[in-house]
Amino acid sequence: MSRSGVLDRIDALLATVSDPAFTAIYRGEPLALGGTPALAFWMVGRTVDFLTLSDVSTTANFLIRAYFRVQTSADVRENLELDVWDAMVNIDTALRSDSDLAGNCTDTNIGTASAGYVELGGVAYRTVEIPYEVEIYGEVTITP
């Protein structure tokens, strides 16, 4: 199991999403976007699940966010809602296809997807946010 392997595998799974066709996948919360739709994921926390006399098992919490630039055209805005829904379903499908991230974790859990808006650099974006948990049993070895 490997933390860098977890990140690589999340990146690879998100890259399989083709509808909508994302222009980029960012590791880390972007400060600006070159094009949309775009995807980003980053770590938001880490908790200890349980410990034994010899190791500590943890859950790493990530946020996956899709960005869609808001347009003034009513027709484009209406089509955007289908993209938002497709993103929710297809990101979920991609992540569920490999629950142990190629052996780099024990298990994963996908949280409830939500939609919203965010502003980056004065530009409004429609967003999809999906919480994602990565469980790693025995991540930390306790040495007596």
Name the region of 98 (left: φ>0; alpha: ψ -120 to 50; beta: rest): beta
CATH entry 3.90.1150.10 includes domain 3-141: no
Query: Other CB atoms closer than 10 Å to residue 41's CB: what's the count?
Result: 22
Please say if the pLDDT value at position 1 is more than 80: no
pLDDT tens for 2-47 read 899 999 999 999 999 999 999 999 999 999 898 899 999 999 999 9
The continuous run of DSSP H or E covering 46 comes out as strand 38-51
Residue spans of the domains in the chain: they are 3-141
> How much is the pTM?
0.90
pLDDT tens for 58-78 read 999 999 999 999 876 666 567
- pLDDT reported for residue 77: 63
Q: Phi and psi of 124, rounded to 5°?
A: -90, 135
Please say if the pLDDT value at position 131 is more than 90: yes
Query: Other CB atoms closer than 10 Å to residue 109's CB: what's the count?
Result: 13
- pLDDT reported for residue 111: 97
